[in-house]
């Protein structure tokens, strides 16, 4: 996409393309963005795999173990920020929105059906993620012993919907930074000083 930095509309288009590319392209930095949520008064950040991007609805899909602390934290406060920086593209994207958790419903069923066998294994770990333990070896997954389908009961889908997108493009001749804010069907767009 050439000269996308010259208009707000093409900046947004580029941002959407960059996020989209992160779904299938495992080499893209947007394949593993950072999701930040509240942990009481603290902020918690972690890497997750981007599974789907619905451009129309501005929804990013992530998977997680429903026993993990972040699920409880998000249920308390679902405000979230997603961030990634692509070193090759020299593009940083920041998204602000909220997360909806799904567990054992049509959304998780569909996502589980399309989850690779290897990824399903993670959900069969015998205790909750983040639990303090003495010996990590005890928690290694024995691939021959587990019934991968049992992991479904621990499988959760996080749907992150954003209302704010900011893109920063680093360019020798002059950086470009722009913000986009959605309010129902209205969209406010503006350049920002980089
Ligand atoms: C490359 C990479 C990909 C990851 N993908 C996920 C993921 O898709 N979902 C997830 O819950 N955790 C994923 N993790 C682990 C999280 O970063 C985090 O350590 C874990 O989920 C515990 O987070 P919590 O204590 O906030 O619940 C990934 C970590 C790395 C390094």
- CATH number of the domain bearing residue 62: 2.30.110.10
Structurally, the chain folds into a number of domains equal to 1
Paired tokens of 152: 């479904």
C-alpha to C-alpha distance for 161 and 165, rounded to whole angstroms: 11
User: Per-residue pLDDT tens for 22-56?
Assistant: 999 999 999 999 999 999 999 999 999 999 999 99
Nearest ligand 1 atom to alpha carbon 44: 26
- Rounded Cα distance between 48 and 62, Å, is 7
What pLDDT does 132 receive? Answer: 85
Asked if residue 45 is part of any domain, the answer here is: yes
Q: What is the DSSP string of 114-140?
A: TS-HHHHGGGG-SS-TT---S-GGGG-
The helix or strand, by DSSP H or E, that contains position 10, with its residue range, turns out to be helix 8-24
Residue closest via CA to ligand 1's atom 26 equals 70
Task: Say if 150 falls within a structural domain.
Answer: yes
- What pLDDT score was predicted for residue 109? 96
Low-confidence ranges of the chain (pLDDT < 50): none
105 lies in some domain: yes
CA of 169 to the centre of ligand 1 (A): 27
Alpha-carbon Rg of the chain, whole angstroms?
18
Enclosing domain of residue 40: 4-188
Establish if 194 belongs to a structural domain.
no
């Amino acid at each position: 996409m050439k000269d996308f930095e010259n208009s707000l509309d093409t900046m947004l288009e580029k941002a959407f393309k960059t996020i989209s590319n992160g779904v299938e392209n495992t080499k893209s930095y947007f394949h593993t963005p950072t999701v930040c949520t509240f942990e009481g008064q603290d902020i918690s950040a972690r890497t997750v795999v981007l599974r789907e991007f619905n451009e129309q609805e501005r929804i990013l899909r992530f998977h997680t173990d429903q026993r993990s602390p972040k699920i409880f934290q998000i249920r308390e406060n679902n405000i979230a920020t997603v961030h990634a920086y692509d070193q090759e593209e020299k593009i940083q994207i920041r998204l602000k929105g909220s997360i909806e958790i799904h567990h054992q419903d049509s959304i998780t069923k569909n996502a589980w059906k399309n989850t690779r066998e290897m990824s399903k294994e993670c959900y069969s770990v015998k205790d909750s993620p983040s639990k303090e333990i003495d010996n990590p070896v005890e928690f290694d997954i024995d691939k021959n012993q587990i019934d991968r389908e049992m992991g479904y009961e621990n499988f959760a889908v996080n749907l992150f919907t954003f209302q704010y997108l900011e893109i920063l493009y680093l360019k020798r001749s002059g950086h470009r930074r722009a913000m986009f804010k959605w309010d129902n069907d209205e969209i406010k767009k503006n350049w920002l000083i980089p």
